[in-house]
């Protein structure tokens, strides 16, 4: 009799004589578990049984939450070998190992424990851990554990589960994401503790490092300072000769939390289940910002997410390849300004609030302190940095790094100190420091005095020129206090002369609040003058808004405001002149569109994205533009894009990111659906407009004017239809098809469709967009976008709203009747 026949006979006998019934938490070697029956933990939290994920017809043995209506699987036994027929059974073999049997495939999974259990019993614990114990003959309640599912996690960590190594046996407990929601087989996204001399928790995509927490420093991970223990959430990191692992606990025993590795979006996500709710609440996930992506800034680069361009060189370093650095490719990193000279002696300079570098080439001695650590590092010419391994108290332990330092992040608060080896010429001599301290006070007094004299002289001159006119612009700040925005004040006669009397020959175009003229000052400087139309009823407020905003904004992808003029009924803004006019001047013109080849268009897309990141998160106030469109993207002499026209912008302070209005203003064809319909605007409204902008840059067609008669679709709908047909390249301007980078174009189409998704929460942030544009990271699939801006949209009831539309690319107002 062969083995398979023996197993089949045993299964028949178990099926006939098993006392198994639904609702118990364990079974013994004389019983089995078949499809349709389950084990349930004593408190009813977890359930073990057979399931079919999503739309898959394959069957798996797994553990899920019993009380949660949304089936959430936390562990899968046979994820590599599904049961593809309708029959599966779990039972013990003669050695006390669990075996999962399929009628068509035979044994598809087993525990393979080396410890033989004479009287095995399998039990599903209240923690979600499936364990095998050896039940003693004398009935003693103490049982020897021979196997547990917690030692073999799939994609989920539960409270009390260890993530890491048992050094005695070589067991590596690590997470591996499901391939998809329908397929629990191992994907290529994994996470676990890496056994460098200085252990680190690392997530990998295939063999490539993707995210890193930074090493443990006695309090937390240096790269995740926001992860802190609380009464409801405790965690520990154990690192000794026997084990290296991380695990967490919940203070509230009735709370439900899990941490899952997600293949589709390449993130680790923490979830809480709130009693009475019908869904999981996302509590935490890395990457939290662009700087969490491994090695983004290259060797000796430091990443600071609060900056528009997050990658900088450490002090004392410079970009290794400036041409790549300027094009936001930071992978080559930085090199020293001054070379080291180990023989003559180097120094160590302290850098604070850092995520410590990658620990692959590190060395640790927990028994010595910082002073001895410095001495060891100084003696070894290959040692590039050192710090404490434990920052509690006065600090203890020693970690040193060899070779290039990579994956460093700067924090505003938290992080850790790192001492980096530098040339002695980079350190200031003590005498110079004392001299500087002595010189600073008198110099400061002198500078302040000069500034005060200049200020009062300027105010007096302004009053003399303007009589009783108020040349300042009053604007309310977040604190509700008035502040006077000081700009250069231009005389009306001077601007009239510069623009040749505001003649048509000097007219550059016209926006929603008035015409724009080209001017030339007496010194030859070229300017652009935006003249507020006297007939505009709402223009004065928008004018003051634009002055107040742009006076505070400084970024290479925002147009620069040089000054203003307010005399009588005349109100004007004076900008730097953009010789190449606006983006729509090129891409929608049959002849001029060929002047924008693909590299220029991709450069423009990147520049606009960086400008929006500055507005949304890096300027002093959070700013929502609300009127992003091709005519508001100006181009300088080198075709660098600059966002202009801030008359409709809204500002927020603190953590506020959204608002609502009864007066919807913007441009037909670019407005997000939640804004056009309900007056709700946020940073995601600008993201939607950016998505439209990218589609127009790619296609050379206007969203508002595009119409596909065969499908009754606007540009968004047309792009989505091509995406679903897997023919997205048919969208692009025919002029680009032979010269473009297919991978870049495909990525831009993908990003644009992510930006125009129906729901604001589904759209990425602009900082994420910048990262996606500059990397090859896999992107999530876009959901169906909003088709709001088609020919049949914005149908309104005249009793409830008043909509003003224009055939021109100018702003519109939608006055809500609420």
DSSP state of 662: S
Nearest-angstrom CA–CA distance, 434 and 437 = 5
One domain for residues 624 and 547: no
The DSSP letter of residue 617 is: I
pLDDT band of 237, cuts 50, 70, 90: very high
Give the span between the Cα atoms of 434 and 252, in whole angstroms. Answer: 55
Please report, for residues 533, 640, 662, 812, the alpha-carbon distance to residue 536 in angstroms, rounded to integers and kept in the order given.
5, 31, 19, 13
Spatial CA neighbour of 53 closest among 180, 156, 186: 180
Residue 343, pLDDT score: 85
Based on the domain organization, do 603 and 729 belong to the same domain?
Answer: yes
Instruction: For residue 435, name the pLDDT band (cuts at 50, 70, 90).
Output: very low
Q: Do 245 and 306 reside in the same domain of the chain?
A: no
Same domain, 254 and 303: no
As a whole number, mean pLDDT of residues 730-758 equals 89
Of 254-258, 296-300, 443-447, highest mean pLDDT: 296-300
pLDDT at 471: 32
Locate 6 and state its tokens: 């023996």
Rounded CA-CA distance 527/578 in Å is 8
Would you state the pLDDT for residue 128? 96
CB within 8 Å of 705: residues ≥ 6 apart: none
Digit-coded pLDDT (tens) for 253-271: 778 889 999 887 667 777 7
Indicate the Cα dihedral angle 363, 366, 367, 372, nearest 10°. 50
Q: What is the 3-state secondary structure (H, E, C) of 596-607?
A: CCHHHHHHHHHH
CA distance 133 to 148: 9
pLDDT at 438 over 90: no
Task: Indicate whether 447 pLDDT > 60.
Answer: no
Question: What is the 8-class DSSP label of residue 314?
Answer: P
Going by pLDDT thresholds of 50, 70 and 90, the confidence category of residue 483 is very low
Taking residues 423-431, report their average pLDDT. Answer: 70
Average pLDDT of the residues in 109-132:
89
Q: Are residues 642 and 529 in the same domain?
A: no
Gap between the Cα atoms of 732 and 67, Å rounded: 50
Assess whether 480 and 601 both reside in one domain: no
Under 8 Å CB-to-CB from 2, ≥6 apart: which residues? none
Any idea what the CATH number is for the domain that residue 680 is in? 1.10.510.10
Does the pLDDT of residue 12 top 50, yes or no?
Answer: no
Q: Which pLDDT score, from 0 to 100, does residue 43 have?
A: 92
Q: Would you list the DSSP string of 258-277?
A: EEEEETTTTEEEEEEE-TT-
Top pLDDT among 506 and 777 is at 506
- Is the pLDDT score of 367 beyond 70? yes
User: What pTM was computed for the model?
Assistant: 0.56
785 φ, ψ to 5°?
A: -75, 175
Distance CA 440, CA 401 (A): 37
Q: Are residues 125 and 197 in the same domain?
A: no
Query: At residue 479, does pLDDT exceed 50?
Result: no
User: In the listed set 242, 263, 288, which residue is the last one of a domain according to the structure?
Assistant: 288
pLDDT at 185: 96
User: Is 598's pLDDT higher than 60?
Assistant: yes
pLDDT higher than threshold 90 for residue 184: yes
> Higher-confidence residue: 446 or 585?
585
Tell me what the pLDDT averaged over the chain comes to: 80
Q: What is the pLDDT of residue 738?
A: 75
| Crossing angle between the packed helical segments 766-773 and 742-755, to the nearest 10 degrees | 170
Domain boundary among 374, 400, 427: 427
Distance of CA 737 to the CA centre of its chain: 31
> What tens digit of pLDDT does each residue of 273-287 get?
766 556 677 666 667
Q: Are both 220 and 307 inside the same structural domain? A: no
In terms of C-beta density within 10 A (0-12 exposed, 13-18 middle, 19 or more buried), how is residue 127 classed? middle
Whether residues 232 and 138 fall in one domain: no
Residue 99 buriedness (CB in 10 A; 0-12 / 13-18 / 19+): buried
Higher pLDDT, 83 or 85: 83
Same domain, 405 and 510: no
**Residue ranges making up the domain that contains 545:** 469-577
Instruction: Read off the pLDDT of each residue in 20-30 and give the average, rounded to a whole number.
Output: 75
The total domain count for the chain is: 6
Q: Which of 264, 288, 312 is the last residue of a domain?
A: 288
Which of the residues are catalytic? 627
Same domain, 501 and 567: yes
DSSP 618: I
Q: Does one domain contain both 5 and 96?
A: yes
């Amino acid at each position: 009799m062969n083995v398979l026949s023996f197993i089949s006979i045993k299964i028949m006998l178990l099926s006939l004589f098993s006392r198994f019934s639904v609702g118990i938490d364990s079974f013994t070697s004389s019983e089995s578990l078949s499809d349709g029956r389950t084990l349930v933990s004593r408190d009813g939290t977890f359930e073990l049984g057979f399931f079919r994920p999503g739309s898959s017809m394959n069957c798996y043995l797994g553990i899920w939450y019993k009380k949660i209506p949304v089936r959430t699987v936390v562990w899968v036994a046979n994820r590599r070998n599904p049961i593809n027929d309708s029959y599966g059974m779990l039972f013990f073999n003669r050695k006390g190992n669990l075996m999962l049997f399929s009628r068509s495939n035979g044994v598809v999974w087993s525990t393979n424990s080396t410890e033989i259990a004479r009287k095995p019993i399998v039990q599903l614990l209240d923690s979600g851990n499936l364990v095998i114990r050896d039940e003693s003959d004398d009935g003693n309640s103490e049982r020897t554990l021979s196997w547990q599912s917690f030692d073999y996690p799939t994609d989920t960590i539960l409270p009390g589960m260890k993530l890491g190594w048992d050094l005695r046996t070589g067991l590596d407990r690590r997470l591996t994401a499901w391939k998809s929601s329908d397929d629990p087989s191992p994907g290529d996204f994994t996470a676990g503790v890496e056994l460098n001399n200085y252990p680190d928790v690392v997530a990998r995509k295939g063999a490539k490092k993707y995210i890193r927490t930074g090493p443990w420093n006695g309090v937390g991970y240096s790269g995740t300072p926001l992860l802190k223990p609380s009464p409801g959430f405790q965690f520990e990191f154990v690192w000794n000769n026997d084990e290296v692992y991380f695990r967490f606990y919940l203070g509230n025993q009735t709370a439900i939390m899990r941490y899952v590795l997600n293949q589709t979006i390449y993130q680790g996500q923490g979830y809480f289940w709130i009693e009475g709710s019908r869904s999981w609440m996302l509590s935490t996930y890395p990457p939290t910002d662009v700087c969490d992506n491994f090695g983004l800034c290259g060797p000796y680069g430091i990443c600071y997410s609060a900056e528009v361009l997050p990658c900088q060189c450490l002090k004392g370093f410079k970009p290794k390849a400036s041409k790549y650095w300027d094009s936001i490719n930071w992978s080559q990193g930085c090199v020293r300004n001054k070379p080291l000279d180990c023989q003559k002696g180097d120094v160590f300079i302290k850098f604070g609030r850092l995520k410590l570098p990658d620990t692959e080439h590190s060395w640790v001695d927990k028994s010595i302190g910082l002073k001895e650590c410095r001495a060891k590092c100084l003696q070894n010419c290959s040692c590039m940095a050192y710090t404490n391994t434990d920052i509690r108290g006065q600090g203890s332990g020693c970690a040193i790094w060899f070779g290039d330092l990579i994956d460093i992040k700067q924090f505003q608060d938290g992080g850790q100190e790192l001492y980096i080896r530098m040339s002695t010429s980079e350190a200031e001599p003590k005498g110079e420091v004392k001299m500087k301290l002595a010189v600073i006070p008198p110099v400061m007094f002198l500078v302040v005095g000069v500034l005060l004299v200049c200020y009062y002289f300027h105010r007096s001159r302004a009053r003399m020129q303007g009589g009783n006119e108020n040349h300042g612009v009053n604007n309310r700040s977040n604190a509700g206090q008035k502040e006077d925005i000081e700009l250069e004040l231009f005389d009306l006669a001077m601007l009239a002369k510069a623009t040749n009397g505001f003649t048509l020959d000097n007219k550059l175009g016209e926006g929603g609040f008035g015409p724009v003229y080209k001017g030339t000052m007496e010194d030859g400087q070229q300017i652009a003058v935006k003249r507020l139309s006297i007939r505009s009823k709402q223009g004065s407020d928008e004018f003051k808004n634009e002055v107040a905003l742009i006076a505070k904004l400084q970024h290479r992808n925002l147009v620069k405001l040089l000054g203003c003029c307010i005399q009588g009924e005349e109100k004007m803004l004076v900008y730097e002149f953009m010789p190449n006019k606006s983006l729509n001047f090129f891409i929608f013109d049959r002849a001029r569109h060929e002047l924008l080849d693909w590299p220029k268009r991709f450069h423009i897309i990147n520049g606009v994205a960086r400008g929006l990141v500055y507005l949304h998160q890096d300027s002093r106030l959070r700013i929502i533009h609300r009127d992003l469109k091709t005519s508001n993207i100006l181009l300088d002499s080198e075709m660098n894009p600059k966002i202009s026209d801030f008359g409709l912008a809204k500002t927020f302070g603190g953590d506020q990111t959204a608002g609502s209005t009864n007066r919807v203003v913007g441009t037909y064809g670019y407005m997000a659906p939640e804004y056009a319909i309900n007056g709700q605007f946020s940073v995601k409204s600008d993201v939607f407009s950016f998505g439209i902008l990218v589609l127009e840059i790619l296609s050379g067609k206007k969203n508002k004017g595009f119409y596909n008669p065969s499908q009754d679709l606007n540009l968004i709908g047309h792009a989505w239809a091509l995406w679903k047909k897997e023919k997205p390249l048919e969208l692009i301007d025919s002029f680009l098809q032979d010269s473009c980078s297919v991978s870049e174009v495909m990525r831009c189409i993908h990003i644009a469709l992510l930006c125009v998704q129906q729901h604001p929460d589904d759209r990425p942030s602009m900082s994420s967009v910048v990262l996606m544009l500059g990397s090859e990271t896999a992107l999530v699939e876009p959901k169906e976008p909003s088709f709001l801006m088609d020919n049949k949209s914005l149908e309104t009831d005249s009793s409830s709203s008043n909509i003003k539309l224009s055939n021109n690319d100018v702003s519109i107002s939608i006055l809500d009747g609420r």
